[in-house]
Amino acid sequence: MTSPLNPLTRFITDKANCWQLSEYLSHGGYDGLTRAMEMSADELLDSIKQSNLRGRGGAGFPTGLKWSFVPRGADAPREKYLIVNADEMEPGAFKDRWLLEQTPHQIIEGLLIGGLTLGATQGYIFLRGDYYLAEERLQQAIEECKQHQLLGRDILGRGIQGQAFNFEIHLHSSAGRYICGEETALINAMEGKRATPRAKPPFPQVVGLWGKPTIVNNVETFCNLPHIINFGSDWFKALGKGQDAGTKIFGVSGRVKRPGLWELPMGTSIREIIEHHAGGMCDGYRLKGFLPGGGSTDFLLEEHLDALMDYDEISKLGSRMGTGTIIILDDKYCPVSMVLNLVRFFAQESCGWCTPCRDGLPWAVSLLEKIERGEGEPKDIDQLEDLCDFAAPGNTFCALAPGAVEPLQSALKYFRQDFETHIKHQCCPYHDERVAKKAATAKTQGALNTNRVGGCDE
């Protein structure tokens, strides 16, 4: 097999059964596992470190480094757990569903390689409760593996250094709550508790599920492992166009001609993703701004289109690459209303532990509702800014609240005029035609359309 340019999605074909074992094997599936079984645990960890793979769940933490904190060797606890975070619930993120439904075996292979690297024998897949098709296929894929000695006792019957390699995978389907995706909340959920995050330290790599060393990584992160082992870390690094290694599943949703998902080199420009792959804006709509990596990232503008989708590049612009799924704000949708939708979601999904989150987010919601209703006052904007400050990183036990205020704080910066128009005219200019006209002439922009129903091909 020659080194592919789209390692993660080359298994996804037109065939209806492309997710099954036979198809996966015919495209070189489980080659990574075979190779991994010929390597020592140290060599495996080294390869993962060398590859510069960064976590694809949002934070971009280096995977090799994270794994190196897990106690290994003879004195280490015998029980360790590997968990695939498949709880995808970030607004605007839909990439993991694609991988889960179309390439369940790739995830299993990633887990097996994780088992070999860390000396773990138990893997869990923590799946979002309403991903029914994914659940069905993962379950079937696990069964297929058991039948073909790819899971269970003495995998492939070949052993490593004279010892059988045993590995089991358990599928846990969640009962739905965004906070379950936070890795320590996820561990609590798996223990059958309310999914409240845990105070850190201790970190789960040392004290995790049932108090044992535990690794939680995103679906896409695990999917990369077989290919790093199979084709080497140099190949993986060379895949990226910029600083970051590998490919990334990028997505676009909102008023573009072809919303969807694509596996592209890390460091592909935002412009290429939106204009080329997503086909550009729908006719009659203009780009007003976008969230580069899901609902908990800061807005960027048209002037940032030439930036590269690379963790550090996007950070430099004051936002985050997050999950790599871009959400488009068009010129006919009210930015206040968009932010309200997002903050309302985060307020609802707060676990209630920290004050800036439990009390601050609902307060922000009520202020945004007031502005959107046409009852806003100038001081509301200042108050919203204060609430953003309260929820800054370091003030809360997890990243939900800091993430929640990212779209809000950047909207206050970039779309301040929209907030002010709402307050000045005591109504939403995107809903009220009279004010829309006035505001439009004032801003010398095209007329605002108040009818926002229907897709672009209507």
Partner 1 sequence: MTQSYEQLLRILPSNGDDSSQLSPCEIKQLDKLLASAPYPAAVSIDALKLIQQQRGWVSDACLSILSAYIHVSIADLDSVATFYNLIFRQAVGEIVLHPCDGISCDLMGGVEVRAAISQKLHIEPGETTPDKRFTLIPLPCLGACDKAPVMIASKQVYPHLTVRNIAQLIDELEENKK
Ligand X SMILES: Cc1cc2nc3c(=O)[nH]c(=O)nc-3n(C[C@H](O)[C@H](O)[C@H](O)COP(=O)(O)O)c2cc1C
Pairing mode of beta strands 260-265, 287-291: unpaired
397 binds ligand SF4 per the rule CB under 6 A: yes
Nearest residue (CB) to ligand FES, 131 versus 311: 131
Burial 17-50 (b: 16+ CB within 10 A, else e): ebbbbebbeebbbbbbbebbbebebeebbbbbbb
56 binds partner 1 per the rule CB under 8 A: no
The helix (H) or strand (E) run that includes residue 355 is: helix 355-358
Cα 66-68-69 angle, rounded to 5 deg: 75
Query: Alpha helix (H) ranges present in 232-317?
Result: 233-239, 270-271, 311-316
347 binds ligand SF4 per the rule CB under 6 A: no
Nearest to 218 by CA among 109, 113, 126, 133: 126
Judged by CB under 6 A, the stretch of 45-53, 214-222, 245-253, 348-356 that binds ligand SF4 is: 348-356
Q: Which does residue 89 bind out of ligand FES, ligand X, ligand SF4, none, counting CB within 5 to 8 angstroms by kind? A: ligand X
Judged by CB under 8 A, the stretch of 1-9, 125-133, 223-231, 361-369 that binds partner 1 is: 125-133
Q: Which does residue 129 bind out of partner 1, ligand SF4, ligand FES, none, counting CB within 5 to 8 angstroms by kind? A: partner 1
Cα 323-61-299 angle, rounded to 5 deg: 40
Nearest to 53 by CA among 42, 66, 35: 66
Judged by CB under 8 A, the stretch of 5-13, 154-162, 218-226, 341-349 that binds partner 1 is: 341-349
Pairing mode of beta strands 214-218, 122-127: unpaired
184 binds partner 1 per the rule CB under 8 A: no
Q: How far, in Å, are 29, 117, 165, 183 from residue 36 at the CA level?
A: 13, 8, 12, 27
Integer Cα distance of 2 and 303 in angstroms: 39
| Binding map of partner 1 across residues 289-318, x = CB under 8 A, - = no contact | ------x-----------------------
179 binds ligand SF4 per the rule CB under 6 A: yes
Q: Which does residue 181 bind out of ligand X, partner 1, ligand SF4, none, counting CB within 5 to 8 angstroms by kind? A: ligand X
151 binds ligand SF4 per the rule CB under 6 A: no
Among 261, 336, 357, 361, binds partner 1 (CB under 8 A): 261
Q: Which does residue 411 bind out of ligand FES, ligand SF4, ligand X, none, counting CB within 5 to 8 angstroms by kind? A: none
Nearest residue (CB) to ligand SF4, 177 versus 304: 177
Contact 242, 266 (CB under 8 A): yes
CB of 391 to ligand SF4, least distance (A): 8
Q: Where are the beta strands (DSSP E) in 260-351?
A: 260-265, 287-291, 325-330
Among 23, 96, 144, 298, binds partner 1 (CB under 8 A): 96
Q: Report the site for ligand FES in 81-140 (rule: CB under 6 A).
A: 91-92, 94
Can you read off the two tokens belonging to residue 433?
A: 């035609």
Q: Could you list the residues that contact partner 1 (CB under 8 A)?
A: 88-94, 96-97, 128-133, 172-178, 189-195, 210, 251-255, 259-261, 295, 325, 327-330, 333, 337-338, 341-342, 345, 348-349, 452-455, 458
Q: Could you list the residues that contact ligand SF4 (CB under 6 A)?
A: 179, 197, 350-354, 357-358, 396-398, 400-401
